[in-house]
Amino acid sequence: MIEIVIEKVLRNIAQPNSAILGEKVSGITSNSKEVQPNFVFVAIQGVNVDGNQFIEEALNKEAVCIITDSNDIEETDRIIKVKNARKALTCLASNYYGNPEKHIKTIGITGTNGKTSTTLILKDILEADGKKVIQVGTLGVIPDITNLNLSLTTPDSISLFQILHHAVKEEFDYAVLEVSSHALSQNRVDSIAFDAVGFTNLSLDHLDYHKSLENYFNDKKKLFNLIKDGNNPLVLSDSSYGEDICKDYPNSKKISLKNDQADYFCTAFSINQDGITGTMVSDSCSLEINSKLKGRYNLENIVLASSIALELGVQPSIVEKGINNCNYISGRHENISKPGFPDIIVDYGHTPDAYVNMLSSLKEIYPNKKIKVLFGAGGNRDQSKRTEMAKAVEQFATECYVVPDNPRFENINDINNDVVKGFSKDIYTVFDDREKGLLIALEHLDTDDILVIFGKGNEEFQEINGKKLHYSDRKIIDSFYAS
């Protein structure tokens, strides 16, 4: 167990009271259930639970001190008041784990869609350059060096700095992080000065938390305040949001598939069922893209990852090798069909924009195939996108299967009713059981069809009423074609 004197742990957030000077800290937590003797307990005013209600419990468990930003709590010899408890938690975690972010190069990628693909492509490029790279995001920690049970795209502050601590101990060169809007809003990465940051895109998502698209965008932009002085953010600038970032942060470098005046551009390219080819150009170099990944959106991910690598000093020939090494991304536009059977593609996409990106690329690559789509909306999440998901799908699909996708604590019929309001054509069937919907879809699938299954990607569970129940689209498909 790590033990550090409290002065060191509290550095940069508070002056320790004389009553606790010299005491050891054995852990940090914002969960009162985890408090043990000599722990620091940070009372967070969360969305659903106020940690300040558990201060007395933490003190009874012999917490060395309490950190709070509540105006209703009086400061004592063991209760320290701060302006922002979330920022304090991040600083405490960094200090407790020896400020690991200062001993490893960090890269942060934000955006609504494409974060996972971009980080994994970048990981392959850096590894082609002989670097040891850890990737942290939706797929967890790759490689898994901590065995932490993580459920967030960007882990909580304590877990994140614990991961970085282990990465430093094991002499990793780079940590490539997916940085979510929630993490930025909640100050989880505030202690990191990133060596490079990148922006993919912004579209409708997470308004259950951010309340408005403007708030969502403003939280995303916080990442660009966390880059090391003298380094340049890399921004896909073909969208209005990308252009706005470049205006707000004039040191940003533009990446484009449309504008050959951008800092990095790829305006000559080909996308087909075999993959992507093209030439990416900047003032200082050019490189050839040969990738088995498919779709225009994956080309955007490739050029963003490549631009970041070039900014970090990776040679163009190595970038080309890294791009070529990334044959597929698990759960992202992944064709899982068997030879001789209809095409089945699974994709983690769960926003209207992600649907349009995927389905438009399939329409372009397979103009003569019928597209069928199985999808659903998550429970207790942004309700505003549900009808938009249906509108996006019906632009391309001949048949749709509306099914559960992590209903959580919400009634699945209420979720499905919200979704179907977005359809203007009678091309859908609604199911309250995902497996039943999938089996019906498979029974009606012909060789000239493509079935796109959105939402789960490579997940093997359904979240229902507070439980993660084992569920696998892939296993159901394998069993169907084996029978």
397: helix, coil or strand? Answer: coil
Contact 306, 287 (CB under 8 A): yes
Which stretches within 172-276 are classed as H helix?
181-185, 207-210, 213-221, 240-248
* Fold (topology level) of 334-482: Protein-Tyrosine Phosphatase; Chain A (3.90.190)
Would you write out the chain's pLDDT as a tens digit for each of its 483 residues?
Answer: 677 899 999 999 988 888 898 999 999 999 999 999 999 999 999 878 899 999 999 999 999 999 999 999 999 999 999 999 999 999 999 999 999 999 999 999 999 899 999 999 999 999 999 999 999 998 889 998 887 766 666 789 999 999 999 999 999 999 999 999 999 999 999 999 999 999 999 886 777 777 898 998 899 999 999 999 999 999 999 999 999 999 999 999 999 999 999 999 998 899 998 999 999 999 999 999 999 999 999 999 999 999 999 999 999 999 999 999 998 888 888 999 988 889 999 999 899 989 999 999 999 888 999 999 999 999 999 899 999 999 999 999 999 999 999 999 999 999 999 999 999 999 999 999 999 999 999 999 999 999 999 999 888 999 999 899 999 999 999 999 987
Nearest to 184 by CA among 114, 247, 133, 109: 109
* Fold (topology level) of 4-96: 3.40.1390
Q: Which residues contact 326 (CB under 8 A, 6 or more apart)?
A: 120, 121, 124, 291, 292, 293
Which stretches within 222-295 are classed as H helix?
240-248
Domains of the chain by residue range: 4-96, 100-254+312-325, 334-482
60: helix, coil or strand? Answer: helix
Q: In CATH terms, are 100-254+312-325 and 334-482 the same topology?
A: no
For residue 134, the number of C-alpha atoms closer than 13 Å in the C-beta half-sphere is 25
CA 371 to chain centre: 27
Asked if CATH classification 3.90.1640.30 holds for the domain at 100-254+312-325, the reply, yes or no, is no
